[in-house]
Structure formats: C-alpha cells, structure tokens
A and B are shown apart, each in its own frame.
Chain A
C-alpha cells in the first residue's frame, strides 16, 4: 500500500517540482502541512482521501480528537519511520529503529504517552499503537495497584472487603512490585 503511494507522489512531485502536502487541523485549531507519504501512515487520513472524490489539495482535514501536542509527537514518529523506509525500502534498519524508539519514549511523560495512545488509536496508526501500548505495558508491569490506578486515572469501585478477597486469591501476584 505505502509503496504505491510513494511512487505516485514522487512522479507527481517531478511534474510540480514540489512534494505534495496535506493539511491537517488539530483540536486547538493549528494546521499542520504534512508530506503526503507521512500523512498516509495515518489510516484515517488515507481513507478520507481515498473515499472522498471531491477533496482537493486545498482541503484541510479536521482532526477534532487530536491536540497539537499529540500531533507533534505523532508526526515525529511517522516522519522518522518514513525516513527509515526511504533509506532501506526492503528491511528497516532494526537497531536504528530501536534506538530511535527508545529515545523517543524516554522523553514522554505518562500523561503524554496516554494522550499519544488515544491519538494513535483515533488516527488508526497500527504500528505506532502497537509500539505505544507495549511501552505502556512495560511502564505498569511491575507497579502497585495504586500506581496503575493513578496512571490510568481510574477510580477504585471495590469495597475494602471485595478488594481484600481478590488480593487473597493470588497473594503472590502482589509481591515484589515497585511502589512508584
């Protein structure tokens, strides 16, 4: 899929001498001019342009569920992956991808990570969603129940009794976790 898009964009750019851009508008009104092959990694954008005959290059696609901050993060990831793909179309340079991804999430707070997961889910970027949900799993894997509740902003709706019963059932599962 992505390779056919890339080839059509390169042929059109040779005629117009300029890479085709797609305009995306975030929830807080900022418009991002995004290179077509990068924007097409966003499945929601790809299907919007594929399904609507009457959209033109001037069309600004609104993305009401994505904040500007999240959009910056998303585009950083998608641009990096487009760059990897351009350099090595056959096989991604695995070590480099891993190094980039590690550095990329290290800078993200839990709040930012959550916001990006929601955005990646809405924009339907399965590769990024796979990656970010894996990061979230790693962040909560060895944490206390209280930490996980705070991480997800979830209210405890168990009675103390119910909680004690559940805890007793598999007591060992609560041993050896980090508190913070």
Chain B
C-alpha cells in the first residue's frame, strides 16, 4: 500500500485542525504550504468550523482598571475555564480606546471610540485573534450627521462571508419619526462598501448599540418604535439584520415584558443575550431607581427561533452580591455572570445557586463574551482593506485620537 494520501483526504484532515496547527503544518512541505494558504482551503476550513457549532471555546473581553487596559482572553469551557492561548493584542487600549462591534466565527471587529467628528472616518479593524492577523477597513465619511453610526458584525452562512453593516440615523430632534437614513454594508469578499438603504432600512430605532447578539445568521439588537412622542410611549421589539438576505426584520417580545416595562421603567433594564445559541432577553431589575447594580434578572429564551409563542422564562437569578452583567450559558448548565461590586466573573448554578469564582476581574459594563472558533481568515489579507501590524493599528488609532483631541482642545 502506498503512503500517498490524496489531496482531498488531506483537506478532510486539515479542515479539522485549529489555526495554530495549520500555521505550523505549512512547514511540512511545499505542497502542504500552498494547500493550507490557498484561499479556497481557508474558505472550506471556515465553513466546516462554522457548521460544527462548537461551543467549547469562548472569547472574553473586559476592561481591567489596574492596568488601564482592555484584555481579551480565550478560554476552554471546561472545569477550570482555563485560558488556552495568550493573545497578542494589536493595539494598546490605554491610549487608543475602542469598542467591540462584534465577534463572530473567529474574527473580532473593533472600532475606535475616540473620534467625535463624524466627518472623520473612524478606523474599523478586523482582527483574527488566534492567528494574529489584522486588517483595517476604509470607512466612508458621512456628512451632516451628529449621531454615532451603529455597526453590526456577523457571518453570512450562505456565502461563508463576513459582513459589517453600518446604520446612520438622521438627526433625531429634527426628524422624530423618520427612521434610519443610510444603511451600508461591507462584505469581506467584495472589499468595498455598498449602499443598501432602499431595500433594507428598518422603521424601528435601535436603542442600544452596546447590546447585540449574533445567532441564527443575524445580528440582533433591542429596538423600539416611537408610538407617541409626547407621552414618550414606545413599542419594544427585537430588531435584527439578516446577514444572508441583507434585510432588517423584527421579532415580537413576550407580552409580559412589555407590560412590566411600562409599569416601572426606571428600575429595569432590558438587554439581549445568547444562551447556548438561543436568542435571549435579559430583563434586569433593581429595587431602587437608578441603582448602580441590579438585584436580579429574568432570562427569557426563544426556544424555537422565530416563533414568538416559544419565548420562555427560563431562569430567574437573584444575587445578594449584586448583578453586573450576564454573559451566557456554559455547557455544564451554569450561567456566566459578572458580580457588580468587585467585577468578578463567576459561574453560577441556577438551581443549587452555587457560585464558582473564576478569578477574572474587570469593570462589569465592559465584559463581552462570545463563542470562539478558530479560523485562518485574513491570512492573505483581504481586498479593500489594509493589512496591519501591531504598530500600524496603534498608529491608526493614534491619528484618530489626535484629531479628536485637537477638536475638543486638549
């Protein structure tokens, strides 16, 4: 029997390897190197990884005050919640503040937050943490707007493409009932921004850009319709952008949440979440108005995606420690959450109420968590983007920061 393994069989083995092993395997021989770095293979690898729906790896982001820096860490969702690969973060958040736009299928999308002049493009960065690749996107400047655009980042499972969507709302005070004005999309495979305002623009307003979730091939936000401006009454919905169809849609919320919210809006907060790939609503509550901490949270899970009747109140969490933020559900059924007072990440068993401290600290507002998949995407860069090294990312953010400082006079 010959030792020769046909290429199609090698590909079957390679698509099951993590990014690190693939980068190392380039050294085996020339034909392996060209196979692994071939864009067609990278595409196939990403597709396989996405379809595996693997939930064993997680990426956690937090702002760690003692270092005055953001930290990104990769964890295995096992007993020890161990950090498995140190990350070389390509920018220094101490000097260049940025926000996470989204994290999906092995890529993280970030944007600088230091610019307040909307005529100046903000650097938008796509980062492959486990492989260490980084590119920046050109962002078209927009004129005559004072509202921050809302960005969303996700993966289109139909074409295996990564997409950034940008929504710019019109000036609210001037056009209270006019909804979003400009919707642009950037697909990594196309390498340029494309305007999709006409077919896509939603009529609702996305409330909170810091709370988003990518499930079922779409990005979801908490959104609302302005019903009566004088009475300040709103109809809350889950707004979503379908990455394949490139249209906005909406899902109704459970009726009871709507009623409860009207009763006492000041002691509640609604966020969107992901409980093991199921769309969820996190309904936080507190006893005191404007309390800095929550006493508890009801977690509603949409058992069957798209079916409004399937919203189920699955967990009710009360915490004496004060609740900062709920991040998600672990494979062992425990809930990952951040305590408010010391900002520690803990694993909480909803039935036994046992708390397992994980020794990971940060400001509770700053925590983000997503499932993490390893990909070789961006290995060869991408059209319409510039390949960045650590220093050039810093430089791009620095330029934005300087511009802002000169505008506000500091």
Contacts and interface: CB of A to CB of B under 8 A. Distances in A.
Interface of A: 67, 114-115, 117-118, 121, 129-130, 133-134, 136-138, 140-142, 145, 148-149, 152-158, 163, 166-167, 170, 172-174, 177
Contact of A133 (B16, B27, B30): B16
Contact of B17 (A115, A141, A157, A167): A141
Interface of B: 1, 3, 5-6, 8-9, 12-14, 16-18, 20-21, 23-30, 32-33, 88, 131-132
Given A134-B16, A137-B16, A142-B21, A114 B28 contact: no
B21 A117 contact: no
Nearest to A130: B12
A155 B29 CA distance: 7
Which 6 residue pairs of A and B lie closest in terms of their CB atoms, listed nearest first? A137-B16, A173-B23, A153-B3, A133-B12, A173-B24, A170-B23
Contact of B13 (A137, A154, A155, A157): A137
Contacts of B132: 170, 172
Main secondary structure of the interface of A (DSSP, over half): helix
A152 B131 contact: no
Given A141-B18, A173-B20, A117 B27 contact: no
A115 B9 contact: no
A147 B363 CA distance: 44
Nearest to B5: A152
Contacts of A172: 20, 88, 132
Given A114-B3, A145-B28, A152-B3, A170 B9 contact: no
Nearest to A69: B1
Nearest to B379: A170
Contacts of A173: 20-21, 23-24
B6 A137 contact: no
Given A142-B21, A148-B28, A158-B29, A170 B3 contact: no
Contacts of B17: 137, 140-141
B397 to A, nearest CB: 23
A156 B5 contact: no
A161 to B, nearest CB: 13
B152 to A, nearest CB: 30
A129 B12 contact: yes
A136 B13 CA distance: 7
Contact of A177 (B24, B28, B30): B24
B1 A67 contact: yes
B25 A145 contact: yes
A88 B14 CA distance: 33
Q: Which of A115, A152, A167 has the most CB of B within 10 A?
A: A152
B377 to A, nearest CB: 15
26 contacts: A114-B5, A117-B5, A117-B9, A121-B8, A133-B9, A137-B13, A137-B16, A137-B21, A140-B13, A140-B17, A140-B25, A141-B21, A142-B21, A145-B24, A145-B25, A145-B28, A148-B28, A154-B28, A154-B29, A158-B27, A166-B26, A166-B27, A170-B24, A172-B132, A174-B24, A177-B24
A178 B320 CA distance: 46
